Structure 1
Amino acid sequence: MENKEKEKLIEVKNLKKYFPVKKSSFISKPQYLKAVDNVSFHINEGETLGLVGESGCGKSTTGRSIIRLFDITDGEILYRGKNIAKLKEPDLRLYRRKMQMIFQDPYASLNPTLTVQDLISEPLDVYHIGSKKERKERVLELLEKVGLGKSHMDRYPHEFSGGQRQRIGIARALSSNPEFILCDEPISALDVSIQAQVVNMLEDLQNEMGLTYLFIAHDLSMVRHISHRIGVMYLGKLVEIGNSDDIYKHPLHPYTQALLSSVLEPDPKMAKKNSIITLEGDVPSPLNPPSGCKFVTRCKYRMKQCHEIEPKLIEKESEHMVACHLY
């Protein structure tokens, strides 16, 4: 996808989110699970930043920290230059209206006791937007945008399929007219036949409404399709970030190379030619990560300095950054 030059909507600086772990005894020191550890990136207005990595790498925690569903441990979250990282709830209210979320599970994210009209109009009620008639008109407008209609307004979530429920969730996220939407694996719980429809709809809505997305997913081919830029996370760290085509055609970090090699190739000849890179061992415990580079225990290129010094994210090519001692 083309990425036009636009101003930064969100800029994350040295973001940290640590979760405290219970002490084993009264004399032991408290332990912390470093879910997100010193992560920095930005998202331009009107673009989609894809965030990928193995389960437990900190993708969702990063996204939820940005929209302040979590109180962060340290760092800055700049929204149009305003640091919202430490804002209290009354001051956050304005920004919560501008930042919405599409959840992974379309079954658990909708209140089963509310009708579709009530679900979509709830943010309008919270922010006192429009009259009762205007809210109803807004709900109908949003339903049509996501491929549903007036006949669905008075139904309950259990009367819909998973794909339809996710469309309702998307309509709800759009109701307060946000600028930024966190898409936290919005297609992973859907049938393959429905996933492409939902992603194409998200692209159309972005073009129509000027939306900015942080798109978190495991489906690497789908991430490439929708994203302008892609960030790769491993064990709470951002190890590589760059334009979508650059990441897929010229991955720099050994972890990114292994991750992309696992994408299934529909052409049998190409699949045979491009062998899958098998990583050694398992992901280390985030409670006891290795010193130096967090990927050192699984990297075949590891050197002495990889065990001792943590690599910093450097720009190797134009807008293509990598954290690796190979560069």
Structure 2
Amino acid sequence: MDEQSQKPKLTPKDFFVQFGVVAALYVSAISLINLLFQTINYAFPDELAYYGDPYSSGIRWAIASLIIIFPLFLTLAWFIGKDFRVYPEKRELSIRKWLIYFTLFVAGIAVVVDLIALVNTFLSGEITARFILKVLAALVVAGGVFGYFIYDLRQKNPVGRKDKTFAWIAAALVLASIVGGFAIMGSPGTAREKRFDAERVSNLQNIQWQIVNYWQQKEKLPKKLAELEDSIDGWRAPKDPDADTAYDYVVGDGLSFKLCASFSRSTIGEREKLKGRGGSIGKGGISYSTPAYNGIGIGIADNWEHDGGRFCFDRAIDPERYPPINK
């Protein structure tokens, strides 16, 4: 009877707090691993990879998750530790034991799966530095979670000094990773400028294809962008997403033309930095010639790199590649 009377009772508060701290830990660990992997990808770019959204979306999600979820994890862990000081018997709650052992199981599986995936990536030709660092990142995070819960199962005190040490080490690692992520991604203002520039390039690609299509239909270049507008399909020339001004279009000799816009930042050399390759774009960056391209590619195409400020793209339609439709 005494043993049953001393057996801790599970309350709704205990259930949700215990479940919440484990869920927050899972999200924090996964986000930290993703952020570390993205940082490694930036430091050691793979020449076989083609980057569309340069490190932005993956790093943004990881940083956002860590900023919100990791402090929540620390808060819940602190609350549980405070509760254990008052009710030490709650350390023996069955749900707590189940969640701890389940976490140990998941952490062990995560280590094994990560190692298998990373070895498979290495065998497919991933460079050694990336392979080693990703293995270490996965082992440090998953191993840290595994080691902490093993210690938690063995300790008898409600809250030990090592709990605080773990919290400080984990907080330092997460903070350093977030700072590194911002160093790669840039500030929110920088990210906004990049998105505006990407929209400008997309608009110019759209206009360029309309010009090529106009040439194929009428065998001449439009004198101004207004001639491209069509009341049937509803196409209208897009404008600058920030300034709401029209893009500059200048007709040159023969089938050549220029498309100009004002950009916030330079992307010249960005593709080479992402891929680790040298480029062929000349210095100066005012404009350069290239045949008209009708595809809207993913990423930073060589012929859409630009300097900051006003920049013009020189284009020339090749009539053999884009012959008039009526011929």
Say which one has the larger Rg.
2
In the superposition, the TM-score normalised over structure 1's length comes to 0.24
Q: Which has the higher strand share?
A: 1
Q: Which has the higher helix share?
A: 2
In the superposition, the TM-score normalised over structure 2's length comes to 0.24
